[in-house]
């Protein structure tokens, strides 16, 4: 049992409340002083909101502005009771807001007397200070917390979050090894999602779709995870705290990396300027150091006589997006991709770096601008210039249907040749294939020049999960498959049946389906392909992933082979150059991003999807 030393006497840890986490040396609070635990109360809001109070506490986190510590600026500081009370349901810590130009500069370990008004700010109890006075010195021992947390609640958005109210504003240490699961808002809000037990995975990546199972999965994710915040209240800070915060030289943060024993103050907030997710955040008081357990991969090494790759290139448009509606086959849709010539040059450079490093003979590409040939021609010309050859070329399909983006093929003419014409699957071929939602499937047969063996590849980009298909009677059922599952499943059935008809006239049963299917491994579209005799080459891998959404990884990009082709496959890999990397490393320059973060000579964060690469010993 830890003994807590006070100037006024002794207090045993088990009787000191607040989970016995505070150790302090400080003067007795004056008679008129209010305990922090009284201000916090046992509920989610303070029972003393709007009242003027005087408290005495030990500073656990210095987040004042315009002081010597510019890495942590929240406009105030955190204090903790010394001694705490005996109620384990009430927090002993609170945030003190003292504005952008505080009259009193404080440091961690100061004992301060604060007078101010109790308020709730985006769900966090705080004291808006009118007076701050340093009256002594003390210390607080961090309260050890282990994930997964014991219970959850819901925030005002209805999302499950950990129930940590009794620790609000307290200094804690997260015990054990935590994994980086996401960093989507690292550049904008300075946040990293940490999780216990490895990275967070999408429910239907390994589980059959199910409403109850998906709900339980989301609750467990809330128990397993917490946001690591940079301790700043501004958006898009010039200094990105955790990007290079590793123990190893030249470290760059990636999902899958780990962190041990991080110490900080627990805050309930929407984050920088109230614009982020409403949840619990750890504000470090000691700069964390990450361990690189998921190093960046080099060029993919894979066997096989022919190498086929699938790559979503994230809206590669040769038309600069200036906000106009001049893209698409009818020149009446909003453009995407680069917003300036400078961004386009960066996007082209990094995309070509990734494409050439694939060293693939056939590349199925998604999210190309749907123009006659400019998008593919520009990529191919740059690939040939990069490699000093003229061996790369493309299948000239012209525009495809009426979406603003299309799929396409790039191939190495020194290794393979096209066999016959390409073929397209849309609703005119099969009414089950809704081409108002899915991009038409594109199939092309290729012959390996060295042997004459033939392979048909079908590249696809099915409807995304993000936007609604309610108007089509295809709602989100809450089983983990998201929006438009029926639309994707029907398209999968139509595609399997269409390929069985040999639409390219190859006369060969070797078929490879690739692309962004927008469905995780155990979802209905993949089950439909399996029922039609196709083998998912990722299914045998442990926790495959090519994309991260909401800090959960999963495989949206797939490679499926026909029965005859399956025994000829040598190896399949997901080239993890994108999903694990922070998006602030991509080509964009918005929000005052430091242009020097970009390195076009590396493939990392060329897109948001990882390429899938298949090596095949094509023998017949």
Determine, yes or no, domain membership for 289.
no
**Among the three residues 250, 284, 318, which one is the final residue of a domain in this structure?**
284
Question: Domain check: are 320 and 277 in the same one?
Answer: no
155 phi, psi to nearest 5 deg: -90, -175
> Closest by alpha carbon to 74, among 58, 94, 56?
94
Nearest to 519 by CA among 468, 491, 557: 557
The answer to whether position 569 is within a domain reads no
Shared-domain flag, residues 63 and 31: yes
**Judging by beta carbons within 10 Å of its beta carbon (0-12, 13-18, 19+), is residue 362 exposed, middle or buried?**
buried
Say if residue 268 is in the same domain as residue 158.
yes
- The pLDDT value recorded for residue 25 is 42
271 touches 277 (CB < 8 A): yes
Co-location of 174 and 126 in the same domain: no
In terms of domains, do 550 and 421 share one? yes
With vertex at residue 109, the alpha carbon angle to CA 107 and CA 112, rounded to the nearest 5 degrees, is: 75
Among 304, 610, 245, CA closest to 448: 304
Residue 585: give the domain boundaries: 305-414+577-609
Together in a domain, 47 and 152 = no
Give domain status of residue 298, yes or no: no
**Residues 360, 361, 366: CA angle, nearest 5 degrees:** 70
Domain match, 529 and 590 both: no
Q: Are residues 239 and 109 in the same domain?
A: no
DSSP state of 451: T
Domain total for the chain?
Answer: 4
Q: Is residue 618 part of a domain?
A: no
Q: In this predicted model, what pLDDT tens digit does every residue of 339-352 receive, in sequence order?
A: 999 999 999 999 99
Question: What is the secondary structure of 568-599 as a DSSP string?
Answer: GEEEEEE--SSTTS-GGGSS---TT--GGG--
Instruction: Assign residue 442 the CATH number of its domain.
Output: 3.60.10.10
- CA-nearest of 43, 36, 10 to 118 is 36
Tell me, yes or no, whether 267 lies in a domain: yes
Whether 296 is covered by a domain: the verdict is: no
What SS3 class is residue 343? helix
What is the CA 425 to chain-centroid distance, rounded? 32
Whether residue 216 sits in one domain with residue 169: yes
Q: Crossing angle for the helix pair 374-387 and 341-358, nearest 10 degrees?
A: 60
Question: What are the pLDDT digits (tens) for 78-94?
Answer: 999 977 778 889 999 99
pLDDT less than 70: residues of the chain: 1-32, 273
- Choose the final residue of a domain: 95, 115, 137: 137
Contacts of 428 (CB under 8 A, 6+ apart): none
First to last CA, the chain: 74
* Token pair belonging to 211: 């409403």
The residues, ordered by sequence, that sit 6+ positions from 263 with a Cβ below 8 Å of its Cβ are 142, 171, 172, 173, 174, 284, 285, 286
Domain-ending residue, one of 109, 137, 165: 137
- Taken as a whole, the chain contains a residue count of 620
Q: Is 550 exposed, middle or buried (0-12, 13-18, 19+ CB in 10 A)?
A: middle
Q: Which two tokens stand for residue 526?
A: 């993949």
Claim to verify: residue 433 and residue 542 sit in the same structural domain: yes
Instruction: Clarify whether residues 396 and 439 are in a common domain.
Output: no
Helices 524-531 & 485-500, crossing angle to 10 degrees? 20
Is residue 295 in some structural domain? no
Q: Which of 177, 180, 300 is nearest to 603 (CA)?
A: 300
Is 257 found in the same domain as 148? yes
Distance separating alpha carbons of residues 40 and 168, to the nearest angstrom: 8
Task: Report the alpha-carbon distance of residue 209 to residue 203 in Å, rounded.
Answer: 8
Residue 497, domain member (yes or no) = yes
Q: What is the CATH number of the domain that holds 85?
A: 2.40.50.200
């Amino acid at each position: 049992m830890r003994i807590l030393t006070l100037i006024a006497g002794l207090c045993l840890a088990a009787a000191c409340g607040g989970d016995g986490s505070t150790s302090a040396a400080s003067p007795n609070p004056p008679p008129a002083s209010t305990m922090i635990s009284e201000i916090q109360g046992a509920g989610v809001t303070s029972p003393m909101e709007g009242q003027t109070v005087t408290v005495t506490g030990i500073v656990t986190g210095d987040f004042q502005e315009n002081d010597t510590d510019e890495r942590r600026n929240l406009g105030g500081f955190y204090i903790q009771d010394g001694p705490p009370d005996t109620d384990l349901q009430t927090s002993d810590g609170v945030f003190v807001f003292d504005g952008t130009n505080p009259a009193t500069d404080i440091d961690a370990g100061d004992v301060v007397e604060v007078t101010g008004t109790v308020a709730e700010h985006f769900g966090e109890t705080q004291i808006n200070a009118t007076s701050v006075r340093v009256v002594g010195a003390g210390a607080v021992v961090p309260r050890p917390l282990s994930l997964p947390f014991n219970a959850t609640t819901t925030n005002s958005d209805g999302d499950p979050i950990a129930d940590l109210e009794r620790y609000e504003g307290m200094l804690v240490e997260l015990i054990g090894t935590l994994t980086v699961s996401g960093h989507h808002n690292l550049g904008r809000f300075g946040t990293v999602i940490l999780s216990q037990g490895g990275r967070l995975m999408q429910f239907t990546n390994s589980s059959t779709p199910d409403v109850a199972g998906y709900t339980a999965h989301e609750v467990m994710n809330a128990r397993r995870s917490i946001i690591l915040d940079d301790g700043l209240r501004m958006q898009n800070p010039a200094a990105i705290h955790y990007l290079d915060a590793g123990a190893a030289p030249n470290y760059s943060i990636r999902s899958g990396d780990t962190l041990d024993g991080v110490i900080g103050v627990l805050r309930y907030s929407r984050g920088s300027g109230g614009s982020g997710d409403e949840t619990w955040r750890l504000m470090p008081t000691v700069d964390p150091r990450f361990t690189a357990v998921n190093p960046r991969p080099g060029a993919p090494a894979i066997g096989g006589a022919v190498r086929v790759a699938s790559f979503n290139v994230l809206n590669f448009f040769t038309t600069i997006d200036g906000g106009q509606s001049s893209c698409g086959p009818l020149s009446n849709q909003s453009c995407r991709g680069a917003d300036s010539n400078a961004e386009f040059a960066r996007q082209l450079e990094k995309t070509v770096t990734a494409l050439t490093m694939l060293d693939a003979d056939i590349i199925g590409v998604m999210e190309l601008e749907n123009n006659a040939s400019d998008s593919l021609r520009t990529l191919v010309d740059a690939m040939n210039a990069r490699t000093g050859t003229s061996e790369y070329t493309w299948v000239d399909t012209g525009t495809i249907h009426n979406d603003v983006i299309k799929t396409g093929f790039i191939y190495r003419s020194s290794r393979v040749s096209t066999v016959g014409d390409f073929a397209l699957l849309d609703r005119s071929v099969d009414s089950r294939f809704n081409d108002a939602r899915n991009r038409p499937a594109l199939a092309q047969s290729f012959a390996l020049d060295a042997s004459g063996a033939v392979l048909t590849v079908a590249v696809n980009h099915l409807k995304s999960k993000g936007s609604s298909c309610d108007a089509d009677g295809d709602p989100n059922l809450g089983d983990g498959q998201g929006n438009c599952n029926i639309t994707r499943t029907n398209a999968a059935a139509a595609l399997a049946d269409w390929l069985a008809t040999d639409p390219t006239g190859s006369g060969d049963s070797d078929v490879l389906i690739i692309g962004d299917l927008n469905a995780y491994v155990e979802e209905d579209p993949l089950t439909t392909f399996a029922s039609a005799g196709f083998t998912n080459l990722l299914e045998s891998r442990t926790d495959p992933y090519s994309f991260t959404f909401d800090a959960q990884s999963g495989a949206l990009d797939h490679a499926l082979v026909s029965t005859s082709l399956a025994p000829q496959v040598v190896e399949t890999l997901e080239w993890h150059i994108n999903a694990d990397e922070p998006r602030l490393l991509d080509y964009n320059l918005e929000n005052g991003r430091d242009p020097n973060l970009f390195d076009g000579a590396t493939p990392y964060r060329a897109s948001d999807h990882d390429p899938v690469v298949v090596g095949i010993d094509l023998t017949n």
